Chains A and B, each alone.
Chain A
Amino acid sequence: MIELFRNPNYDFIGKRKWAYIVSIAVTLLGLLTLAARGGLRYDIDFTGGTLIQVRFEQPPAIAKIRASLATIQLGESIIQEFGDAREFIIRLPLVAVGSEEIARRVQAALGGDSALGKFEIRRVEFVGPQVGRELQLQAVYLVLAGLVWIALYLAFRFDLRGGVAAVVAVFHDVIVCLGALSITNREFSLPVLAALLTIIGYSVNDTIVAYDRLRENRGKFVPKGRTFAQQMNDAVNQTLSRTVLTSLTTFFSAAVLLFFGGKTLEDFAFVLFVGVITGTYSTTYIAAALVVDWTNYVEGRLRRGKKAVVKA
């Protein structure tokens, strides 16, 4: 049979100090990128505005499209190639004009320039200011509700330390994903939100597997002299082949979505792709590592407390 690891015994937990440095650095990098770019770039789902997807018969020059749209006075439009050279996404800011009128004007402007040739409007999305604000709030609530649910469930199934550490790990993953989104100049849209929530689920899934193993081991006979850190390390090693196999399959699935899923799914798949990597990493080096240090800290205080009592 094919085996990736046979009784692996790597010292993961022992190197956690280095990992903390890496985690903090990556999180800071993510936050700095976000700060440098003035926060996330929200898609029209959240800001309100109009998105129009147009497919031309012949590849047009972007400058031509921009020039013809400039005449209709609907504000600063953002024009991006979408998938191939014949397809474009035009984003228009929120204006006082109704959605029907916007579509009509864009159609007229593009149709008015004969150099652009024939085209088809394939998608129109209009989000009014009220809906945009609602969706923005909703996004925050959904992420928070997801985190709270996870913390509660884990605190109930394991203990408070596990719950909190898992949420810290998940939070790290969210920051890294948002940072990656910002570095690659992608927009925060509804599908990206869905992907983030998926990653929250995925990351916590991974964490549970490790915690479950630790709990199971501790329920059985624990060899004397094995520190808590070593026990945690054992649990991570025992679940290592499963972690690697699952991460790889999920990683491949995300990669397939990213490269073959088409332009519409691209941002969604990108977040999954980044999230699978950071989610796997954070299980060991944030969730498990934090529980170890937290437990050591608490037990250290207890021991010192006892010694103090004995001395007195």
Chain B
Amino acid sequence: MPRHLRVRVAFVVLVVAASVWYLSPPQKAINLGLDLQGGIHLMLGVEADKHVASQTDRAAEDLKGALERKGIGVKRIAREANAAIQVELASPQSWNDALTVVSEFGSFERRDENQAAGRFTLVMSERRVNQLRDDAIRQGLETIRNRVDQFGVAEPTITRQGSQQILIQLPGVQDPARAKALIGKTALLEFKLLDERTSIEQALAGQLPETSEVLYGREVDKQTKVEHKVPYVVLKRTLLTGAELTRAEVQADPNSLGNWQVAIEFTSTGTRIFGEVTEQNVGKRLAIILDGTVYSAPRINERIPGGRAVITGQFTVDDARDLAIVLRAGALPAPVVILEERTVGPSLGADSIRQGLIAITASAVVVFIFMLAYYRLSGLIADVALGLNLLILFACMAAIRATLTLPGLAGIALTVGMAVDTNILIFERIREELRVGKTPRSAVEAGFRRALRTIVDTHLTVMGTAVILLSFGTSSVKGFGVSLFIGLGASLFTAYFFTRLLFDLVYMGRRKVEAISI
């Protein structure tokens, strides 16, 4: 074998070996998309402005406390829009004292001052607002990651998309509804006292003190399984939140057979606050509220020193387990909304992969037989090249950890079509050269040389559109672009380099080539 042939053979062997290496073991090598193996694709929008608003609320609360400690009377202090606080002092005389207190709130700027009326507005600085928004998304991402880890999903993808979105992909999840509830729950746990001076009738009639609000609890009738809402009048002030939790465990509910509860334990700070709250409010009812829904409102019988509590609420074991997970992982700093959801059940995924494979195998078989029948030995060469093309394609997808989706399979089908076209172009060209009377050897030479330019042009144009698809397209379109791009790259290599090599191996070694089987 001549030297230049040996180098080329070695190169091909290297490519094949690398492909096989990347593809082993085959079950693990290729990532199947959610549409093929089942699972959930979620695009969440983070309502980051709500985080800004709640931080502004806290600042307003702090400011009110600070002013009162200095003995400055406040007539009104309230949040306006997301990031502003309106302050109205009881008397304009305390204006200068008030400004001293305000100057400690560094992230706010004073606007619309009216000293005579004792009124001013504090506006959160642009930088702080952006920082809080960013925090909301980053913490949200972290929290969701925690929850998913505890829920137990193999190879989840949880990434930030754009400025305010989180993309979550959970392959192979069996119970999508449950996973979704787990992820989307804000899980803000709050302890608030019931307002026992205002009756529910009064409250519902609109006679509600400014410090109170109406929240609802859910109760399910055991017999009829009908769910109904129970209103509670609750004092707005939050005494303690889930941020002060260290543990949350599932327990059987000792008072109600077959129901489960979640036992929680507070941090040392939480324990201290909880102890104080229960001590000061013996005889009153303390509402345990999760995401605005009252779960229970037990009466405080005595001071609770140990920092432990239970959340009951007719939970099944799964409900309780999921609640414990979200409590442990912490609350989302801002609520999330589902912008896009694609859930594929595992059985549908299995069906579509089977049908996709059948279709591709069938079209490949049609093409293989056709090439063999039409071009004989050369057709066989083309078929081997096509096989190598697919091998390289899958190996590259494994190497870059690309995900094979249903549109991706379609992209592969198209690649097969174009790879065959490449061979047809070359072979027809060789035939033409033979027809004008060239010797077999120079016909092969000329055929390859002349077809090359066309092949490069066709591949580059289509690969160009594939690049547009894979860089600007989303999900399914992207998968199509990726497999098309890689497939055509491989096709360029096999059709030109590998097919040519096989031709050379078959015909160059002989001293005299009588005819070509084409």
Contacts and interface: CB of A to CB of B under 8 A. Distances in A.
Contacts of B465: 146, 149-150, 197, 200-201
B273 interface: no
Contact of B477 (A126, A157, A194): A194
Contact of A123 (B345, B458, B472, B480): B345
A81 B345 CA distance: 18
A268 B410 contact: yes
B461 interface: yes
Nearest to A211: B457
A104 interface: yes
A265 B356 contact: yes
Given A100-B338, A146-B468, A264-B355, A1 B410 contact: no
A127 B42 CA distance: 10
A135 interface: yes
B461 A124 contact: no
B177 A103 contact: yes
A153 to B, nearest CB: 5
Interface stretch (B76-84, B195-203, B416-424): B416-424
Nearest to A240: B428
A145 B472 contact: yes
A124 B176 contact: yes
A126 B341 contact: yes
A265 B410 contact: yes
- Of the four ranges (under 10, 10 to 19, 20 to 34, 35 or more), the interface on chain A belongs to 35 or more
Contacts of B363: 252-253, 256-257
Given A98-B337, A142-B468, A193-B477, A205 B462 contact: yes
Contact of A98 (B338, B416, B468): B338
B469 interface: yes
Secondary structure class of chain B's binding surface, majority of residues = helix
B327 interface: no
A99 B338 contact: yes
Contacts of A135: 474
Nearest to A146: B465
Nearest to B414: A198
Interface string B321-335: 000000000000000
A122 B347 contact: yes
A188 B118 CA distance: 61
Nearest to B428: A242
A150 B461 contact: yes
Nearest to A152: B464
Interface stretch (A62-70, A243-251, A297-305): A243-251
B476 A190 contact: yes
Nearest to A3: B431
B43 interface: yes
A260 interface: yes
Interface in B356-389: 356, 358-359, 362-363, 366-367, 370, 373-374, 376
Nearest to A45: B476
Interface in B213-265: none
B344 A122 contact: yes
Contacts of B184: 100
B457 A260 contact: no
B339 interface: yes
B8 interface: no
B460 A138 contact: no
B472 A142 contact: yes
Interface in B26-46: 35, 43, 45
Contacts of A256: 359, 362-363, 366
A265 B424 contact: no
Interface in A121-145: 121-128, 130-131, 135, 138, 141-142, 145
A204 interface: yes
Nearest to B407: A194
Contacts of B272: none
Contact of B355 (A130, A153, A241, A262): A262
A149 B477 contact: no
Contacts of A260: 355, 358-359, 362
Nearest to A147: B465
Contacts of A123: 342-345, 348
B342 A125 contact: yes
Interface in A226-271: 238-239, 241-242, 245-246, 249-250, 252-253, 256-257, 260-262, 264-265, 268-269
Residue with the highest number of chain A CB atoms closer than 10 Å, among B184, B356, B461, B477:
B461
B454 A212 contact: yes
B105 to A, nearest CB: 35
Determine which residue in A149, A153, A216, A246 has the highest number of CB atoms from chain B within 10 A of its CB, and name it.
Answer: A246
Contact of A2 (B177, B343, B345, B373): B373
A124 B374 contact: no
A38 B374 CA distance: 47
A205 B457 CA distance: 8
B402 to A, nearest CB: 16
B181 interface: yes
Interface string B448-468: 001001100110111011101
Nearest to A127: B340
Contacts of A204: 461-462
Contacts of B181: 100
A53 interface: yes
A145 B468 contact: yes
A146 to B, nearest CB: 5
B58 interface: no
Contacts of A208: 454, 457-458, 461
A104 B340 contact: no
A284 B341 CA distance: 44
B168 interface: no
B362 A120 contact: no
A31 interface: no
Nearest to B359: A261
6 contacts: A100-B180, A100-B184, A120-B347, A122-B348, A245-B424, A250-B417
Ranked 9 nearest A-B pairs via Cβ: A262-B355, A201-B462, A122-B348, A126-B341, A261-B359, A253-B363, A122-B345, A256-B363, A128-B339
Given A149-B465, A190-B475, 16 more contacts: A2-B374, A3-B431, A55-B347, A100-B180, A138-B472, A141-B472, A201-B466, A205-B418, A216-B450, A242-B428, A245-B428, A253-B417, A256-B359, A260-B358, A262-B359, A269-B410
Interface of B: 35, 43, 45, 176-177, 180-181, 184, 337-345, 347-348, 351-352, 355-356, 358-359, 362-363, 366-367, 370, 373-374, 376, 406-407, 410-411, 413-414, 416-418, 420-421, 424-425, 428, 431-432, 435, 450, 453-454, 457-458, 460-462, 464-466, 468-469, 472-477, 480, 484, 518
